[in-house]
Amino acid sequence: MTSLLLTLSALVTASALAAPAAGAAPQTGRQAAVPAGWEAVDGDELAAMGGERSSAAANGAPSAADEPSLIAMQSVRNGNYVAAEVSYAAPHTGVLRARSADVGGWESFAFEWDETTQTYALRSAANGRYVAVEKNFTGSARNVLRARSTGVGGWERFVLYHHEGLDRWALQSTLNGLFVTMENDYTGTLRYVLRARSADITGSWEEFNLYGLDA
């Protein structure tokens, strides 16, 4: 089988990761109803699609041989790659936004599987922090995703879904049971921000392409 790991230079012309085998839905206790055609993906399935684990991260970021391969997320809605805004000022330092045309360290994430909870934690290669859902934020920033945590708890856990027919992916927060959406209609510094706020996968706002990165 041909490896699905991609070089950074070939990323924009390569196809998305191939479909996984159907997996059993994790028992998170706070899941929204999953639309027909979507299946949860476990760690073995994602590792098989990504090929061998990488010994180096994109743009020279620290990595170990036993760490998960890095993955880039591309919004289906606007075609941009998701970046961690590590240079943003507090309280939005590290927010995830689908705003990049190319992939580098800011657009690279490790998907770390936890067998006990049957969930993933997402770790940004930009700052080494885990992505959390900011449930206590208010207004338009409520439930935004931020790479800001040094450890993993309920705020940092996600279920990963794949739709074989569409060959697209979706993320669901176990903190509030909602799916991650790219806020295409926002303005200002939070335009294209990722938020866990949808009770359903309604279309391209909640859908992403995933690409394995071979640095």
Q: What digits encode the pLDDT tens for the residues 81-136?
A: 999 999 999 999 999 999 999 999 999 999 999 999 999 999 999 999 999 999 99
Q: Residue 18 has what pLDDT?
A: 45
Q: What was the pLDDT predicted at 44? A: 87
**Cβ atoms of residues 122 and 110 within 8 Å:** yes
Calpha distance 29→68 (Å, rounded): 26
Average pLDDT across the chain, whole number:
82
How high is the pLDDT of residue 67?
Answer: 57
Is residue 50 very low, low, confident or very high in pLDDT (cuts 50, 70, 90)?
Answer: low
Q: CA–CA separation, 52 vs 98, rounded Å?
A: 27
**DSSP-assigned letter for residue 154:** G
Lowest mean pLDDT among 3-17, 28-42, 122-136, 168-182: 3-17
Burial grade of 73 (CB within 10 A; 0-12, 13-18, 19 or more) = buried
- What is the pLDDT, as a whole number, of residue 69? 84
Strands in 15-164 per DSSP E: 38-40, 70-75, 81-85, 95-100, 109-114, 119-124, 130-133, 145-149, 158-163
What's the CA gap between 173 and 65, in Å, rounded?
Answer: 28
pTM: 0.80
Whether the per-residue pLDDT at 26 is higher than 80: the answer is no
Q: Percent of the chain beyond pLDDT 70? A: 75
Give yes or no for residue 210 having a pLDDT over 70: yes
CB-CB contact of 190 with 92 (8 Å): yes
pLDDT at 55: 29
Structure tokens at 18: 């191939």
